[in-house]
Amino acid sequence: MKIKNSSEQDTDTRSEIILIGPVSVGKSTVGKLLGKSLELQQVSMDQHRLRYYAELGYTEEFRENIFKMEGILTGT
Sign of CA dihedral 31, 33, 34, 36: positive
Q: Domain residues of the chain, as ranges? A: 1-43, 45-76
63 or 28, which is more confident: 28
Radius of gyration of the chain (CA): 19
Q: Which of 38, 46, 3 is nearest to 17 (CA)?
A: 38
**What DSSP state is assigned to residue 26?**
S
Mean pLDDT of 31-45: 87
- In the predicted structure, residue 62 carries a pLDDT above the cut 90: no
36 or 6, which is more confident: 36
The pLDDT score that the predictor gives to residue 30 is: 92
**pLDDT tens, position by position, 2-34:** 555 555 555 566 668 888 888 778 888 999 999
Cα–Cα distance measured from residue 37 to residue 1, given in angstroms and rounded to the nearest whole number: 11
Q: pTM for the complete prediction?
A: 0.48
CB-hemisphere CA count at 13 Å for 1? Answer: 13
